[in-house]
Amino acid sequence: MGGAEPAKEVEELPETPKPLTIVGTCATMCPASEFARRLRQGRLHRLELGPAPECRPEPSRAVKEYSRPAAGKPPPSPEELRPPAMLLATIQHLLGLESGEVAVDRYAFVADRLRAIRLDLTLQRLAGQPCTIAILERALVFLLHSGHHLCTQPPTHFDAHLHRAHLQESFAALRRAYRQDRDGARHASATEPRFQALFLLYNLGSTEALRQILQLPENVRTSPELSTALAINWAFLERNFARFFRLARGLPYLPSCALHQHFANARREALLTFSHGFNARNCRYPLSHLAQLLALDDAEDAAKLCQAHGLAMADGGVVFQKGSFKDTPALAHWPSCLLVDSKRGNATLRELAESVCS
């Protein structure tokens, strides 16, 4: 019946030194050493050359490319890292590249340079700085816009899985930056509700994303942007498709880009529900009404959608029969003028980013 065993004395270990923070000093978008190396190797991108017909290499147009850190490699020197002000100037330059370059080539160039920007932020341990928020928000504007703009491209031209991974990593980095700075205090950002709403819309139907959103501070959670995103999420989970598409119609351009990837699934679920609810051989559901309900551009699109899912047409309407319905991935990335494209207006991508992030 002895007492509690006395605590063993713990040997104190020497304190592990914290890694030194590197402060970048590079005053250009691309370090001089990298520019010289890529110029010598002939690896400058078309967007880093001067305007045609000269197309001469211009150091002021070159942007640092992404290079995966190798194990055992020494850390970069300060001259190879760009400070926050230069990183922000770099991303603004990238967003302003509205040239005649092929869209997929421009996307590949900008996406690679955005990864290099994120790496510079990480190497300088800037994750908790306000500059990180401004930079990552603008990166997400580009990624969300491009994801919708290139959704119809074949996998050989646009890797949707890699794009999604890049987007999710950027969302995670931005939401960490909102959470706390180096002193552990939460950043008070006026744009946080807007981007938290984009995160929820992009991850529509995800229980984990919803859990994270519901744990946000009340002033963020009850903002108009996040309240609308939550309403859309609940309508999707409750299979209230009429309300889902009615709310989607009222979204601005960028939230519509975030939500776009879920339209096909919502329409598929709606048609499956209607195929059971209106299952009758002699019943005709008007295509014009269906197009309005599912926020399709016109009755012709409604007919294509129904035919792709195996539903027959008759007398200007669709014949819903549960035995005829079939799944199809063919329309997973349909462009939408009504729900997305018509909302952008004439603003350039850089102007759009500045208005969203201001």
Instruction: Quick: pLDDT tens for 79-134.
Output: 999 999 999 999 999 999 875 556 899 999 999 999 999 999 999 988 767 788 99
pLDDT at 188: 64
Q: Could you say which residues of the chain have pLDDT below 50?
A: 1-2, 4, 6-18, 182-183
Please indicate, yes or no, whether residues 276 and 134 belong to a single structural domain of this protein.
no
Q: CB within 8 A of 202, min separation 6: which ones? A: 144, 167, 171, 258, 259, 261
Please indicate, yes or no, whether residues 177 and 43 belong to a single structural domain of this protein.
yes
Whether residue 241 is contained in a domain is answered as: no
Other CB atoms within a 10 A radius of the CB of residue 250 amount to 11
Please indicate, yes or no, whether residues 172 and 43 belong to a single structural domain of this protein.
yes
pLDDT at 328: 74
Whether residue 197 is contained in a domain is answered as: no
Please indicate, yes or no, whether residues 31 and 180 belong to a single structural domain of this protein.
yes
Whether residue 96 is contained in a domain is answered as: yes
Please indicate, yes or no, whether residues 162 and 33 belong to a single structural domain of this protein.
yes
Give the single-character DSSP code of 110: H
**297 near 317, Cβ under 8 Å?**
no
Whether residue 357 is contained in a domain is answered as: no
Final residue in a domain of this structure, among 187, 214, 246? 187
Please indicate, yes or no, whether residues 271 and 180 belong to a single structural domain of this protein.
no
Q: Please provide the DSSP assignment of 79-101 as one string.
A: GGS--HHHHHHHHHHHHT--SSS
Whether residue 353 is contained in a domain is answered as: no
Final residue in a domain of this structure, among 153, 187, 221? 187
Please indicate, yes or no, whether residues 142 and 55 belong to a single structural domain of this protein.
yes
Please indicate, yes or no, whether residues 175 and 300 belong to a single structural domain of this protein.
no
Preceding peptide of 78 cis, ω within 30°: no
pLDDT at 341: 92
Please indicate, yes or no, whether residues 174 and 294 belong to a single structural domain of this protein.
no
**pLDDT one-digit tens code per residue, 37-64:** 999 999 999 899 877 666 788 899 999 9
Please indicate, yes or no, whether residues 55 and 172 belong to a single structural domain of this protein.
yes
Whether residue 153 is contained in a domain is answered as: yes
Whether residue 110 is contained in a domain is answered as: yes
First to last CA, the chain: 69
Question: Could you tell me the residue range of the domain that residue 297 belongs to?
Answer: 264-341
How far is 232 from 225, CA to CA, in rounded Å? 11
Please indicate, yes or no, whether residues 164 and 49 belong to a single structural domain of this protein.
yes
Count: domains in the chain? 2
Final residue in a domain of this structure, among 146, 172, 187? 187
Task: Give all strands (DSSP E) within 30-177, no chain letters.
Answer: none
Please indicate, yes or no, whether residues 43 and 178 belong to a single structural domain of this protein.
yes
Whether residue 114 is contained in a domain is answered as: yes
CA 319, 322, 323, 327 dihedral sign is: positive
pLDDT at 127: 73
How far is 258 from 260, CA to CA, in rounded Å? 6
